[in-house]
Amino acid sequence: MSKKILLSHGGGGEETQNLIKELFFKHFDNEILLRMEDAASLVMGSTKIAFTTDSFVVSPLFFKGGNIGKLAIAGTVNDLSMMGAKPKYLTCSFMIEEGFEYAKLEEIVISMRDEMAKSGVKIVAGDTKVVPRGGVDGLFINTAGIGEIQYEGISAHNLTEGDVIIVSNEVGNHGACILATREEIELESDLQTDCASLWKPVEALINAGVKIHALRDATRGGLSAVLNEWAETSKVCIEVDEAKIPVAQEVKGVCELLGFEPYEFANEGTMVICLPQSEAQKALEVLQTFPETAKCAFIGKVTTAFTCKVILHTPWGSERFLEPPKGELLPRIC
């Protein structure tokens, strides 16, 4: 049987990494791409810029706390922010199914406008394709973005023994929210996506002089994917304390009900930060002043116990490896 593309190739876990390395890196080989950061860092003339892209295929298009449009802005703003780059300009491309409701499209466009205002980014070029019914399910949006690098040297290669790991918010909210919507689970409380633009808190960290080693938003593959990629890229061990990882009660509920791990759930406005221990207190104080990062927490540290591995210390004193996410995970989560 001929080899086919599987859902797991798009899950953000191990199979996605393999597809990228075996197919795209093989043919699109160049040193900037191979760095594998959230955005490419480039020099144009004498200016250092970051450049990134993301397509959004989330289903459903509307969910608690957001919609595909908000996601498409925040996602690309965050990819730039994670490179220490001030988001400046976006392009936006709509792929729309014939018959899509104009009013829904306008609602999405308005969400995009509102989300752009939060970081001051602008859409400067666009494209619209309409495909006959059945050619695409509703609406896909691609955004690409350019930012001005304001803090250099952030990289997945920089983790050093003694560094600490901080998450900026509860983990798993976006994944749990989408899953609950799809499965029509009635949640007692108000679980919603964490979708948010993170440039303001990142800018505040930079302005406060906080030294950052690595920074990444925990999207597809969640916290687990980021930590494992970092451990492997920097050839270190990351040890995290499960009791310290903030997880909303409703997210725990969804996970127990459906057999998922909150650490593998996608987030859309939650970042993981690695920095020297001496910087941790200042970073937490800065993050606490923003509503989108007010629930930030110190969760672990960089050691050399098991190179390229992530160790989870459970509240009961035992420990286990937090393995990189694998398999289908959740298709169309973003």
Restricted to residues 123-182, the positions that interact with its own copies (CB under 8 A) are 123-132, 134-137, 140, 142, 144, 146, 148
Q: Is 206 in the site for its own copies (CB under 8 A)?
A: no
- Nearest distance in Å: CB 33, its own copies: 5
- Nearest distance in Å: CB 101, its own copies: 6
- Nearest distance in Å: CB 35, its own copies: 9
Residue (75 or 300) nearer to its own copies, CB: 75
Residue (105 or 308) nearer to its own copies, CB: 105
Q: Is 303 in the site for its own copies (CB under 8 A)?
A: no
Give the integer Cα–Cα distance in Å for 212 and 152. 9
CA 308-313-317 angle, to 5 degrees, is 145
Interface with its own copies (CB under 8 A), residue total 79
Tokens of 326: 């694998």
CA 194-199-204 angle, to 5 degrees, is 115
- Nearest distance in Å: CB 66, its own copies: 17
Tokens of 264: 């593998």
Where are the extended beta strands (E) located within 154-263? 164-167, 214-217, 237-241
Tokens of 91: 């392009």
Pairing of strands 66-67, 62-63: antiparallel
Residue (23 or 243) nearer to its own copies, CB: 23
Taken in order 204, 121, 56, 91, is the CA torsion positive or negative? Answer: negative
Positions in 244-283 near its own copies (CB under 8 A): none
Positions in 35-94 near its own copies (CB under 8 A): 39-40, 42, 44-47, 49, 51-55, 57, 59, 88-89, 91-94
Q: Is 284 in the site for its own copies (CB under 8 A)?
A: no
Phi, psi of 320, rounded to the nearest 5 degrees: -150, 160
- Nearest distance in Å: CB 99, its own copies: 5
Positions in 91-120 near its own copies (CB under 8 A): 91-103, 105-106, 109-110, 112-113, 116
Nearest to 333 by CA among 71, 97, 65: 71
